Amino acid sequence: MSGLLSDSRVTVHIGDGFRFLADNKGTYDVIITDSSDPVGPAEALFQKAYFQLLYDALAPGGYISNQAECLWLHLEFIADLRKFTSEIFQTTEYAYCTIPTYPSGQIGFILCSKGLGRDLRTPIREVTNTRYYNKDVHRSSFVLPEFAKLLLDEGKDIRPLFGRAASAVEVENSGTSKKRILLLGSGFVARPCVEYIVKNPTNLLTVGKLMELDMKTVLIVRQLVGPSLLPKHSLVLFPPPPLFLLMLMILKLWKKQLLNTTL
């Protein structure tokens, strides 16, 4: 691709892409976003505000094509994309292609048009000398499995549920009351306890980490801060004891420094 940068028709802009779109309203006939996955900085490229910027930067009748994840792994995410793009663009579609190096061997695109009645599914010209694309591949890219088609077009989810997810639906439909359970503890016992509790979808679990000060820690605390600051009862500590002791040491040093400054 870098070999094309010397073409006189190519202009490279380096800067804030969002600002660039906002400053070029009604300018482009086609905008293509080949982004990374929607995590970290790239997350903003999958939000409604970005698609509104794309819409505003398009000339009348213009088109966009955006990377739109894998229907086997991110179908709910794709459904959200389809929903809010349809609130912005007059025409919106989801298509996919197969690429072995991608997760599940598939990647998709959100294709939208700033114009009513645009048929994105039908190729309108011949593209020659390709190794993957042809007119039949173009048409078939919009043909989705029934579970995906129903969710994207009608919001109906017919995917099967298994294990705890299936049990949760049964519980919800039966109206069974739920139990609230508080687990305080840590160590080898806590994990199997949690695993057992959450197997039952009627259980709502809250986990807290309870750590008591042992005798050795009590003696160290007494030496650091004096008996007047020592609590009468066991403490519930959110930082681990070593960190707690470090905080006390800093407090002790700060208190000593304050007294020296006063004197």
Identified catalytic residue from 34, 136, 153, 157: 34
Q: Which of 104, 109, 32 is nearest to 67 (CA)?
A: 109
Q: Residue 29: what residue type?
A: D
Which string of b and e fits 30-50 if b means at least 16 CB within 10 Å? ebebeeeebeeeeeebbeeeb
Half-sphere exposure of 37 (CA within 13 A, CB side): 9
Q: Which two tokens stand for residue 259?
A: 């007294």
Residue 232 carries which DSSP code? S
16 annotated active-site: no
d(CA 3, CA 235) in angstroms, rounded, equals 66
- Active-site residue list: 34
